[in-house]
Amino acid sequence: MRTRIRRALVVTTAGVLGAVGVLSLAGTANAASTLGASAAAKGRYFGTAVAANHLGEAQYASTLDTEFNAVTPENEMKWDAVEATRNSFNYGPADQIVSHAQGKGMKVRGHTLVWYSQLPGWVGGLGTDDLRSAMNNHITQVMTHYKGKIYAWDVVNEAFQDGSSGARRSSPFQDKLGNGYIEEAFRTARAADSGAKLCYNDYNTDGQNAKSNAVYSMVKDFKQRGVPIDCVGFQSHFNSASPVPSDYQANLQRFADLGVDVQITELDIEGSGSAQATSYGKVVNACLAVSRCAGITVWGVTDKYSWRSSGTPLLFDSNYSKKPAYDTVLSALGGTSGGGSGGGTGGATCTATYTRTDTWSDRFNGQVTVKAGSSAITGWTVPVTVTSPQRISTTWNGSPTWDGSGNVMTMKPNGNGSLAAGASTTFGFTVMTDGNTSAPTIGACTAS
Ligand code: G2I
Protein backbone atom coordinates (compact mmCIF):
# COMPACT_ATOMS: atom_id res chain seq x y z
CA MET A 1 0.00 0.00 0.00
CA ARG A 2 2.72 2.43 1.01
CA THR A 3 4.78 1.63 -2.07
CA ARG A 4 1.79 2.13 -4.32
CA ILE A 5 0.99 5.50 -2.79
CA ARG A 6 4.59 6.55 -3.05
CA ARG A 7 4.87 5.57 -6.70
CA ALA A 8 1.68 7.34 -7.64
CA LEU A 9 2.84 10.51 -5.98
CA VAL A 10 6.25 10.47 -7.59
CA VAL A 11 4.47 10.83 -10.90
CA THR A 12 2.21 13.68 -9.83
CA THR A 13 4.90 15.67 -8.02
CA ALA A 14 7.90 14.91 -10.19
CA GLY A 15 7.84 18.28 -11.91
CA VAL A 16 7.89 20.20 -8.67
CA LEU A 17 10.49 18.01 -7.07
CA GLY A 18 12.85 17.97 -9.97
CA ALA A 19 13.40 21.68 -9.55
CA VAL A 20 14.84 21.37 -6.06
CA GLY A 21 17.02 18.33 -6.63
CA VAL A 22 20.38 20.07 -6.32
CA LEU A 23 19.86 22.52 -3.47
CA SER A 24 22.75 22.87 -1.07
CA LEU A 25 22.75 24.91 2.13
CA ALA A 26 25.42 25.43 4.74
CA GLY A 27 24.68 23.57 7.98
CA THR A 28 24.47 25.50 11.22
CA ALA A 29 23.82 23.37 14.28
CA ASN A 30 25.91 20.47 15.48
CA ALA A 31 23.42 17.70 16.23
CA ALA A 32 25.37 16.05 18.99
CA SER A 33 26.06 19.38 20.61
CA THR A 34 22.60 20.91 20.96
CA LEU A 35 19.88 20.23 23.50
CA GLY A 36 17.26 19.32 20.94
CA ALA A 37 19.40 16.97 18.87
CA SER A 38 20.85 15.27 21.93
CA ALA A 39 17.37 14.76 23.36
CA ALA A 40 16.15 13.44 19.99
CA ALA A 41 18.92 10.85 20.04
CA LYS A 42 17.35 9.65 23.31
CA GLY A 43 13.86 9.62 21.81
CA ARG A 44 12.85 12.80 23.64
CA TYR A 45 12.20 16.44 22.72
CA PHE A 46 13.81 19.42 24.41
CA GLY A 47 11.62 22.49 24.23
CA THR A 48 11.26 26.00 25.54
CA ALA A 49 8.50 28.48 26.24
CA VAL A 50 8.55 31.19 23.58
CA ALA A 51 7.10 34.69 23.44
CA ALA A 52 6.04 35.91 19.98
CA ASN A 53 7.28 39.44 20.61
CA HIS A 54 10.89 38.27 20.98
CA LEU A 55 11.06 36.24 17.77
CA GLY A 56 12.34 39.27 15.91
CA GLU A 57 15.39 39.52 18.18
CA ALA A 58 18.25 37.86 16.31
CA GLN A 59 19.99 36.24 19.28
CA TYR A 60 16.71 35.03 20.74
CA ALA A 61 15.67 33.41 17.46
CA SER A 62 19.07 31.91 16.75
CA THR A 63 19.37 30.41 20.25
CA LEU A 64 15.86 29.01 19.92
CA ASP A 65 16.45 27.62 16.44
CA THR A 66 19.84 26.12 17.23
CA GLU A 67 19.13 24.51 20.58
CA PHE A 68 15.48 23.53 20.86
CA ASN A 69 13.18 21.19 18.97
CA ALA A 70 9.89 22.01 20.68
CA VAL A 71 8.11 25.19 21.76
CA THR A 72 5.28 26.20 24.06
CA PRO A 73 3.72 29.65 23.57
CA GLU A 74 4.28 31.27 26.97
CA ASN A 75 1.09 33.37 26.96
CA GLU A 76 -0.22 33.57 23.39
CA MET A 77 -2.64 30.62 23.53
CA LYS A 78 -4.18 31.49 26.88
CA TRP A 79 -7.85 32.36 27.02
CA ASP A 80 -7.31 36.09 27.56
CA ALA A 81 -5.01 36.23 24.52
CA VAL A 82 -7.17 34.17 22.18
CA GLU A 83 -10.75 34.97 23.19
CA ALA A 84 -10.71 38.21 25.18
CA THR A 85 -14.19 38.93 23.85
CA ARG A 86 -16.73 36.15 23.61
CA ASN A 87 -16.63 34.37 20.27
CA SER A 88 -14.08 36.76 18.79
CA PHE A 89 -10.85 34.84 18.34
CA ASN A 90 -7.41 36.37 17.90
CA TYR A 91 -4.81 33.87 16.81
CA GLY A 92 -2.18 36.28 15.44
CA PRO A 93 0.65 36.01 18.00
CA ALA A 94 0.12 32.28 18.57
CA ASP A 95 0.09 31.66 14.80
CA GLN A 96 3.42 33.42 14.57
CA ILE A 97 4.96 30.97 17.03
CA VAL A 98 3.35 27.92 15.42
CA SER A 99 4.50 28.84 11.95
CA HIS A 100 8.03 29.60 13.17
CA ALA A 101 8.12 26.21 14.88
CA GLN A 102 6.76 24.33 11.88
CA GLY A 103 9.31 25.96 9.62
CA LYS A 104 12.10 24.70 11.86
CA GLY A 105 10.81 21.22 12.53
CA MET A 106 9.86 21.85 16.14
CA LYS A 107 6.99 20.25 18.03
CA VAL A 108 4.39 22.61 19.51
CA ARG A 109 2.79 22.19 22.94
CA GLY A 110 -0.52 24.01 23.23
CA HIS A 111 -0.83 25.93 26.50
CA THR A 112 -3.57 26.13 27.78
CA LEU A 113 -7.32 25.72 27.23
CA VAL A 114 -9.02 25.72 30.64
CA TRP A 115 -7.30 27.60 33.47
CA TYR A 116 -8.52 29.80 36.30
CA SER A 117 -5.87 32.46 35.53
CA GLN A 118 -5.50 34.77 32.53
CA LEU A 119 -9.20 34.26 32.10
CA PRO A 120 -11.13 37.26 30.75
CA GLY A 121 -13.70 38.74 33.12
CA TRP A 122 -16.67 37.85 30.94
CA VAL A 123 -16.14 34.13 31.54
CA GLY A 124 -16.57 34.51 35.30
CA GLY A 125 -19.78 36.42 34.79
CA LEU A 126 -21.62 33.64 32.96
CA GLY A 127 -24.33 31.43 34.40
CA THR A 128 -23.84 27.67 34.56
CA ASP A 129 -25.25 26.62 31.18
CA ASP A 130 -23.67 29.52 29.39
CA LEU A 131 -20.30 28.82 31.01
CA ARG A 132 -20.45 25.18 29.94
CA SER A 133 -21.09 26.15 26.35
CA ALA A 134 -18.41 28.87 26.45
CA MET A 135 -15.84 26.39 27.77
CA ASN A 136 -16.66 23.76 25.17
CA ASN A 137 -16.79 26.34 22.42
CA HIS A 138 -13.40 27.75 23.43
CA ILE A 139 -11.79 24.30 23.40
CA THR A 140 -13.38 23.36 20.10
CA GLN A 141 -12.58 26.61 18.30
CA VAL A 142 -8.96 26.84 19.42
CA MET A 143 -8.17 23.17 18.87
CA THR A 144 -9.84 23.18 15.47
CA HIS A 145 -7.82 26.23 14.43
CA TYR A 146 -4.58 24.39 15.30
CA LYS A 147 -5.74 20.90 14.31
CA GLY A 148 -2.87 18.79 13.03
CA LYS A 149 -0.24 21.23 14.27
CA ILE A 150 -0.11 20.54 18.00
CA TYR A 151 1.83 17.69 19.56
CA ALA A 152 0.15 17.98 22.97
CA TRP A 153 -2.40 20.29 24.58
CA ASP A 154 -2.54 21.31 28.23
CA VAL A 155 -6.30 20.86 28.25
CA VAL A 156 -6.75 21.74 31.91
CA ASN A 157 -4.14 23.62 33.93
CA GLU A 158 -3.70 23.95 37.69
CA ALA A 159 -7.09 22.67 38.83
CA PHE A 160 -5.99 21.56 42.31
CA GLN A 161 -5.18 23.49 45.47
CA ASP A 162 -1.78 23.62 47.09
CA GLY A 163 -1.37 22.26 50.59
CA SER A 164 -2.65 19.17 52.31
CA SER A 165 -6.32 19.17 51.32
CA GLY A 166 -6.02 17.59 47.88
CA ALA A 167 -9.10 19.64 47.00
CA ARG A 168 -9.99 21.30 43.75
CA ARG A 169 -9.07 24.94 43.33
CA SER A 170 -11.91 27.42 43.19
CA SER A 171 -12.51 28.79 39.69
CA PRO A 172 -15.57 29.71 37.65
CA PHE A 173 -15.41 26.22 36.11
CA GLN A 174 -15.09 24.38 39.41
CA ASP A 175 -17.56 26.56 41.27
CA LYS A 176 -20.31 26.47 38.64
CA LEU A 177 -19.80 23.21 36.74
CA GLY A 178 -18.49 21.07 39.60
CA ASN A 179 -15.88 18.30 39.51
CA GLY A 180 -17.12 17.00 36.17
CA TYR A 181 -15.78 19.98 34.23
CA ILE A 182 -12.32 18.44 33.81
CA GLU A 183 -13.69 15.26 32.30
CA GLU A 184 -15.97 17.29 30.06
CA ALA A 185 -13.06 19.42 28.87
CA PHE A 186 -11.02 16.34 27.95
CA ARG A 187 -13.92 14.72 26.09
CA THR A 188 -14.55 17.92 24.14
CA ALA A 189 -10.83 18.18 23.37
CA ARG A 190 -10.61 14.65 21.99
CA ALA A 191 -13.57 15.32 19.72
CA ALA A 192 -11.94 18.52 18.43
CA ASP A 193 -8.50 17.09 17.52
CA SER A 194 -8.00 13.38 17.97
CA GLY A 195 -4.38 13.68 16.79
CA ALA A 196 -3.15 15.80 19.70
CA LYS A 197 -2.08 14.31 23.00
CA LEU A 198 -4.26 15.61 25.82
CA CYS A 199 -2.47 16.57 29.05
CA TYR A 200 -3.38 17.65 32.55
CA ASN A 201 -0.70 20.14 33.72
CA ASP A 202 0.13 21.39 37.23
CA TYR A 203 2.86 22.62 39.62
CA ASN A 204 3.81 21.42 43.11
CA THR A 205 2.93 17.96 41.88
CA ASP A 206 6.57 17.08 41.16
CA GLY A 207 7.00 14.81 44.18
CA GLN A 208 4.52 12.65 46.05
CA ASN A 209 2.32 14.91 48.17
CA ALA A 210 -1.35 15.59 48.81
CA LYS A 211 -1.72 17.60 45.61
CA SER A 212 0.00 15.08 43.35
CA ASN A 213 -1.95 12.28 45.06
CA ALA A 214 -5.18 14.05 44.14
CA VAL A 215 -4.08 14.42 40.52
CA TYR A 216 -2.98 10.78 40.54
CA SER A 217 -6.41 9.64 41.71
CA MET A 218 -8.08 11.68 39.01
CA VAL A 219 -5.86 10.29 36.25
CA LYS A 220 -6.33 6.75 37.52
CA ASP A 221 -10.08 7.23 37.53
CA PHE A 222 -9.99 8.71 34.00
CA LYS A 223 -7.97 5.77 32.69
CA GLN A 224 -10.32 3.27 34.37
CA ARG A 225 -13.42 4.92 32.94
CA GLY A 226 -12.01 5.66 29.50
CA VAL A 227 -11.97 9.43 29.84
CA PRO A 228 -9.49 10.53 27.15
CA ILE A 229 -6.20 11.61 28.76
CA ASP A 230 -2.76 10.91 27.30
CA CYS A 231 -0.27 12.78 29.40
CA VAL A 232 0.42 14.59 32.64
CA GLY A 233 2.58 17.70 32.70
CA PHE A 234 4.85 18.41 35.67
CA GLN A 235 5.68 22.10 35.55
CA SER A 236 8.79 21.79 37.73
CA HIS A 237 9.31 25.38 38.84
CA PHE A 238 12.03 24.97 41.47
CA ASN A 239 14.02 27.17 43.85
CA SER A 240 15.67 26.79 47.24
CA ALA A 241 12.31 26.83 49.02
CA SER A 242 10.93 24.28 46.59
CA PRO A 243 13.85 22.14 45.39
CA VAL A 244 13.75 19.12 43.08
CA PRO A 245 12.07 16.49 45.29
CA SER A 246 14.09 13.39 46.11
CA ASP A 247 11.24 11.22 44.81
CA TYR A 248 10.90 13.17 41.55
CA GLN A 249 11.67 10.16 39.35
CA ALA A 250 9.49 7.82 41.42
CA ASN A 251 6.61 10.26 41.12
CA LEU A 252 6.97 10.49 37.33
CA GLN A 253 7.14 6.72 37.20
CA ARG A 254 3.95 6.14 39.19
CA PHE A 255 2.01 8.35 36.79
CA ALA A 256 3.61 6.65 33.77
CA ASP A 257 2.53 3.34 35.26
CA LEU A 258 -1.08 4.49 34.95
CA GLY A 259 -0.63 4.39 31.19
CA VAL A 260 -0.01 8.06 30.38
CA ASP A 261 3.04 9.90 29.06
CA VAL A 262 4.69 12.26 31.47
CA GLN A 263 6.23 15.53 30.35
CA ILE A 264 8.33 18.14 32.14
CA THR A 265 6.47 21.19 30.93
CA GLU A 266 7.77 24.43 32.50
CA LEU A 267 11.15 23.63 33.99
CA ASP A 268 13.12 26.43 35.61
CA ILE A 269 15.33 26.35 38.69
CA GLU A 270 16.37 29.54 40.43
CA GLY A 271 20.03 29.81 41.37
CA SER A 272 23.39 29.85 39.66
CA GLY A 273 26.59 27.95 39.10
CA SER A 274 27.10 24.35 40.05
CA ALA A 275 24.20 24.16 42.51
CA GLN A 276 21.75 25.12 39.78
CA ALA A 277 23.49 22.80 37.35
CA THR A 278 23.23 19.85 39.72
CA SER A 279 19.50 20.37 40.13
CA TYR A 280 18.97 20.56 36.39
CA GLY A 281 20.96 17.35 36.02
CA LYS A 282 18.63 15.56 38.45
CA VAL A 283 15.58 16.54 36.42
CA VAL A 284 17.06 15.43 33.11
CA ASN A 285 18.30 12.13 34.51
CA ALA A 286 14.90 11.44 36.07
CA CYS A 287 13.15 12.00 32.75
CA LEU A 288 15.63 9.79 30.91
CA ALA A 289 15.10 7.03 33.47
CA VAL A 290 11.33 6.96 32.85
CA SER A 291 10.61 5.52 29.44
CA ARG A 292 7.27 7.32 29.17
CA CYS A 293 8.86 10.70 29.93
CA ALA A 294 8.41 12.15 26.45
CA GLY A 295 10.39 15.34 26.81
CA ILE A 296 11.39 18.42 28.72
CA THR A 297 10.39 22.05 28.19
CA VAL A 298 12.20 24.86 29.98
CA TRP A 299 10.14 27.94 30.76
CA GLY A 300 12.03 30.37 28.55
CA VAL A 301 15.11 30.75 26.37
CA THR A 302 17.03 33.29 28.43
CA ASP A 303 17.13 34.65 31.97
CA LYS A 304 16.52 38.07 30.41
CA TYR A 305 12.86 37.28 29.66
CA SER A 306 12.07 34.78 32.40
CA TRP A 307 8.85 35.35 34.38
CA ARG A 308 11.18 35.36 37.39
CA SER A 309 14.21 36.90 35.79
CA SER A 310 15.85 37.98 39.05
CA GLY A 311 16.15 34.33 40.04
CA THR A 312 18.16 33.58 36.84
CA PRO A 313 16.41 30.20 36.50
CA LEU A 314 17.20 29.25 32.87
CA LEU A 315 19.99 27.68 30.81
CA PHE A 316 21.14 30.82 28.96
CA ASP A 317 22.01 34.03 30.79
CA SER A 318 20.78 37.48 29.80
CA ASN A 319 23.52 37.71 27.15
CA TYR A 320 22.59 34.32 25.71
CA SER A 321 25.75 32.72 27.09
CA LYS A 322 25.47 29.09 28.09
CA LYS A 323 25.45 28.62 31.85
CA PRO A 324 26.95 25.70 33.81
CA ALA A 325 23.42 24.27 33.96
CA TYR A 326 23.39 24.16 30.16
CA ASP A 327 26.55 22.04 30.09
CA THR A 328 25.14 19.66 32.70
CA VAL A 329 21.86 19.26 30.82
CA LEU A 330 23.65 18.68 27.52
CA SER A 331 25.95 16.11 28.98
CA ALA A 332 23.09 14.33 30.80
CA LEU A 333 21.38 14.10 27.41
CA GLY A 334 24.51 12.47 26.02
CA GLY A 335 25.55 15.48 23.96
CA THR A 336 29.01 16.94 23.71
CA SER A 337 29.97 20.59 24.07
CA GLY A 338 31.99 22.61 21.64
CA GLY A 339 31.55 20.42 18.57
CA GLY A 340 33.70 17.72 20.16
CA SER A 341 33.99 14.05 19.32
CA GLY A 342 30.91 11.90 20.19
CA GLY A 343 28.32 10.49 17.91
CA GLY A 344 30.40 8.41 15.49
CA THR A 345 33.37 6.11 15.16
CA GLY A 346 36.96 7.30 15.33
CA GLY A 347 36.09 10.96 15.93
CA ALA A 348 33.87 11.13 12.85
CA THR A 349 30.81 13.26 13.61
CA CYS A 350 28.06 14.87 11.65
CA THR A 351 25.02 17.02 12.26
CA ALA A 352 21.56 17.12 10.72
CA THR A 353 19.52 20.33 10.46
CA TYR A 354 15.98 20.45 9.13
CA THR A 355 14.15 23.20 7.23
CA ARG A 356 10.77 23.16 5.52
CA THR A 357 11.37 24.50 2.02
CA ASP A 358 7.92 24.45 0.38
CA THR A 359 4.31 24.12 1.44
CA TRP A 360 1.20 23.16 -0.56
CA SER A 361 -2.32 22.46 0.64
CA ASP A 362 -1.79 18.69 0.79
CA ARG A 363 1.98 18.36 1.28
CA PHE A 364 5.25 20.04 2.14
CA ASN A 365 8.89 19.57 1.29
CA GLY A 366 11.54 19.15 3.97
CA GLN A 367 15.26 19.46 3.55
CA VAL A 368 17.96 18.12 5.84
CA THR A 369 21.47 19.54 5.75
CA VAL A 370 24.09 16.99 6.74
CA LYS A 371 27.35 18.56 7.84
CA ALA A 372 30.59 16.81 8.77
CA GLY A 373 32.18 17.72 12.10
CA SER A 374 35.83 18.64 12.52
CA SER A 375 37.03 15.45 10.80
CA ALA A 376 36.31 14.18 7.30
CA ILE A 377 33.66 11.44 7.14
CA THR A 378 33.05 8.65 4.63
CA GLY A 379 29.33 8.15 5.22
CA TRP A 380 26.32 9.13 7.31
CA THR A 381 22.79 8.08 8.29
CA VAL A 382 19.90 10.25 9.46
CA PRO A 383 16.54 8.91 10.70
CA VAL A 384 13.42 10.89 9.74
CA THR A 385 10.12 10.12 11.49
CA VAL A 386 6.74 11.43 10.35
CA THR A 387 3.47 11.24 12.26
CA SER A 388 0.70 8.97 10.98
CA PRO A 389 -1.40 9.63 8.84
CA GLN A 390 1.47 11.52 7.20
CA ARG A 391 3.41 9.66 4.54
CA ILE A 392 6.72 10.45 2.88
CA SER A 393 5.82 10.23 -0.79
CA THR A 394 9.20 10.73 -2.37
CA THR A 395 12.80 11.62 -1.59
CA TRP A 396 15.80 13.04 -3.39
CA ASN A 397 19.58 13.18 -2.97
CA GLY A 398 19.64 10.14 -0.69
CA SER A 399 18.97 6.45 -0.43
CA PRO A 400 16.17 5.66 2.04
CA THR A 401 15.28 2.49 3.93
CA TRP A 402 11.96 2.11 5.75
CA ASP A 403 10.76 0.49 8.94
CA GLY A 404 7.64 -1.68 8.97
CA SER A 405 5.28 1.16 9.90
CA GLY A 406 6.29 3.35 6.97
CA ASN A 407 6.66 6.28 9.35
CA VAL A 408 10.39 6.01 9.92
CA MET A 409 12.85 6.48 7.09
CA THR A 410 16.59 6.09 7.53
CA MET A 411 18.44 8.12 4.93
CA LYS A 412 21.91 7.24 3.70
CA PRO A 413 24.03 8.86 0.99
CA ASN A 414 23.26 8.14 -2.62
CA GLY A 415 26.61 6.72 -3.72
CA ASN A 416 29.76 8.24 -2.27
CA GLY A 417 28.98 9.71 1.18
CA SER A 418 32.35 11.31 1.80
CA LEU A 419 32.39 14.83 3.18
CA ALA A 420 35.48 16.87 4.03
CA ALA A 421 35.71 18.30 7.55
CA GLY A 422 33.03 20.95 7.92
CA ALA A 423 31.55 20.25 4.47
CA SER A 424 27.84 19.70 3.99
CA THR A 425 25.28 18.14 1.67
CA THR A 426 21.50 17.99 1.70
CA PHE A 427 18.70 15.53 1.07
CA GLY A 428 15.03 16.22 0.70
CA PHE A 429 11.62 14.61 0.86
CA THR A 430 7.93 15.33 0.40
CA VAL A 431 5.49 14.70 3.25
CA MET A 432 1.84 14.12 2.30
CA THR A 433 0.05 15.67 5.26
CA ASP A 434 -3.40 14.05 5.19
CA GLY A 435 -4.43 16.90 7.49
CA ASN A 436 -1.40 16.76 9.81
CA THR A 437 1.15 19.45 9.04
CA SER A 438 3.44 18.81 12.01
CA ALA A 439 7.14 18.72 11.21
CA PRO A 440 9.05 15.45 11.02
CA THR A 441 11.41 14.45 13.80
CA ILE A 442 14.99 14.37 12.60
CA GLY A 443 17.13 11.96 14.60
CA ALA A 444 20.82 12.39 15.27
CA CYS A 445 23.24 12.12 12.36
CA THR A 446 25.57 9.14 12.68
CA ALA A 447 28.89 9.42 10.83
CA SER A 448 31.25 6.71 9.66
O1 G2I B 1 3.67 31.61 36.42
C2 G2I B 1 4.52 30.75 35.74
C3 G2I B 1 3.72 29.75 34.93
C4 G2I B 1 2.95 28.82 35.86
N5 G2I B 1 2.26 27.78 35.10
C6 G2I B 1 1.41 28.25 34.03
C7 G2I B 1 2.14 29.22 33.12
O8 G2I B 1 1.28 29.71 32.14
C9 G2I B 1 2.75 30.35 33.91
O10 G2I B 1 3.40 31.22 32.98
C11 G2I B 1 3.39 32.58 33.30
C12 G2I B 1 4.13 33.35 32.22
O13 G2I B 1 5.47 32.93 32.21
C14 G2I B 1 4.09 34.86 32.52
O15 G2I B 1 4.62 35.59 31.40
O16 G2I B 1 2.08 33.04 33.40
C17 G2I B 1 2.01 34.38 33.82
C18 G2I B 1 0.57 34.79 34.07
O19 G2I B 1 -0.03 33.98 34.99
C20 G2I B 1 2.64 35.29 32.77
O21 G2I B 1 2.66 36.61 33.22
C22 G2I B 1 1.98 37.51 32.42
C23 G2I B 1 1.76 38.77 33.24
O24 G2I B 1 0.98 38.42 34.38
C25 G2I B 1 1.05 39.79 32.41
O26 G2I B 1 0.94 40.97 33.14
C27 G2I B 1 1.80 40.01 31.11
O28 G2I B 1 1.05 40.88 30.28
O29 G2I B 1 2.73 37.83 31.26
C30 G2I B 1 2.03 38.69 30.40
C31 G2I B 1 2.81 38.84 29.10
O32 G2I B 1 4.10 39.29 29.35
Pick the residue whose CA is nearest to atom 15 on ligand 1.
307
Kindly indicate the confidence band of residue 32, based on its pLDDT and cuts at 50, 70 and 90.
low
Compute the distance from residue 308 Cα to the ligand 1 centre, in Å: 10
What is the predicted pLDDT for the residue at 338? 55
- Which residues are catalytically annotated? 158, 266
**What pTM was computed for the model?**
0.79
Ligand 1, pocket-test mutation among 74, 204, 298, most atoms within 8 A of CB: 74
Compute the distance from residue 217 Cα to the ligand 1 centre, in Å: 28
Kindly indicate the confidence band of residue 195, based on its pLDDT and cuts at 50, 70 and 90.
very high
Pick the residue whose CA is nearest to atom 27 on ligand 1.
75
Compute the distance from residue 306 Cα to the ligand 1 centre, in Å: 10
Compute the distance from residue 307 Cα to the ligand 1 centre, in Å: 7
366 touches 431 (CB < 8 A): yes
**Range list of β-strands (E), 270-390:** 293-298, 350-359, 363-372, 380-385
- Give dist(CA 442, CA 297) in Å, integer: 18
Which residues have CB under 6 Å of ligand 1? 74-75, 117-118, 203, 235, 266, 307
Bridge partners of 382? 411
- Give dist(CA 78, CA 236) in Å, integer: 19
Backbone angles phi and psi of 346, in degrees to 5: 55, 35
What is the predicted pLDDT for the residue at 20? 31
428 touches 366 (CB < 8 A): yes
**Percent of the chain beyond pLDDT 90?**
79
Average model confidence (pLDDT) across the chain: 90
Cα dihedral 284→286→292→293 (10° resolution)? -30
Mean pLDDT for the stretch of residues 323-339: 88
- 3-class DSSP state of 155: strand
pLDDT digits (tens, 9 = 90+) for 210-249: 999 999 999 999 999 999 999 999 999 999 999 999 999 9
Q: Which atom of ligand 1 is closest in space to residue 307's alpha carbon?
A: 13
1 touches 33 (CB < 8 A): no
